[in-house]
Chains A and B, each alone.
Chain A
Amino acid sequence: EAGVAQSPRYKIIEKRQSVAFWCNPISGHATLYWYQQILGQGPKLLIQFQNNGVVDDSQLPKDRFSAERLKGVDSTLKIQPAKLEDSAVYLCASSFDSNSPLHFGNGTRLTVT
């Protein structure tokens, strides 16, 4: 089966600019997650979707981050405006349901200068 696809692979922006990341999950996976992984840390959940509804966005900085999953398939994560501390790898993952193992994409490495 095809894995989780993410783009772009790398992104460099200046602080206060905006950026968007795209994720295409594994076909048939109802649950989609966005995680932020800062260098040397484990992934931190930002938002979880079940189909096109939000299950958990308690750790999403909603003043600058937004995410959507239209039609319950692809998802985009946006940061506007970016801060230096947003430099991290943004990982998208999907699973058949919320109790199944996660399948991760290879992430987007964001550098904010």
Chain B
Amino acid sequence: SQKIEQNSEALNIQEGKTATLTCNYTNYSPAYLQWYRQDPGRGPVFLLLIRENEKEKRKERLKVTFDTTLKQSLFHITASQPADSATYLCALVNQAGTALIFGKGTTLSVSS
């Protein structure tokens, strides 16, 4: 069955540094991968989508890479700010191509 692993449950970094979050998956090849942000008491909010034929996607201070050989996506936040503190969820479309399967998330804390 499909499996998604977000390696770190928590990541603590200093303001201004680059945060790098990892998402690994096994047992299948998704057509695309998405990243969401979730704040406490709120639903997840979509950030970026990257397709299997794209190596990299950028949006403002965010960058996502997708390595289908390693079965891994990296999510980078450059020049991190305390406001970036949240839980970041990786999500893959399931093998049927019908719905998203989410990882457990990585909680990022950016200290000033």
Interface residues of A (CB under 8 A from B): 4, 33, 35, 40-45, 48, 55-56, 91, 93, 98-99, 101-107
Contacts and interface: CB of A to CB of B under 8 A. Distances in A.
Nearest to B41: A106
A91 B94 CA distance: 18
Interface residues of B, number: 25
A18 B51 CA distance: 41
B45 A104 contact: yes
A102 B34 CA distance: 10
Interface of B: 4, 32, 34, 36, 41-46, 49, 89, 91, 93-94, 96-105
B95 to A, nearest CB: 11
Contacts of A44: 102
A98 B97 CA distance: 8
A96 B89 CA distance: 21
Contacts of A55: 98-99
Contacts of B96: 56
B103 A42 contact: yes
A33 B96 CA distance: 15
A99 B46 CA distance: 13
Contacts of A43: 44, 89, 102
A101 B59 CA distance: 15
B43 A91 contact: yes
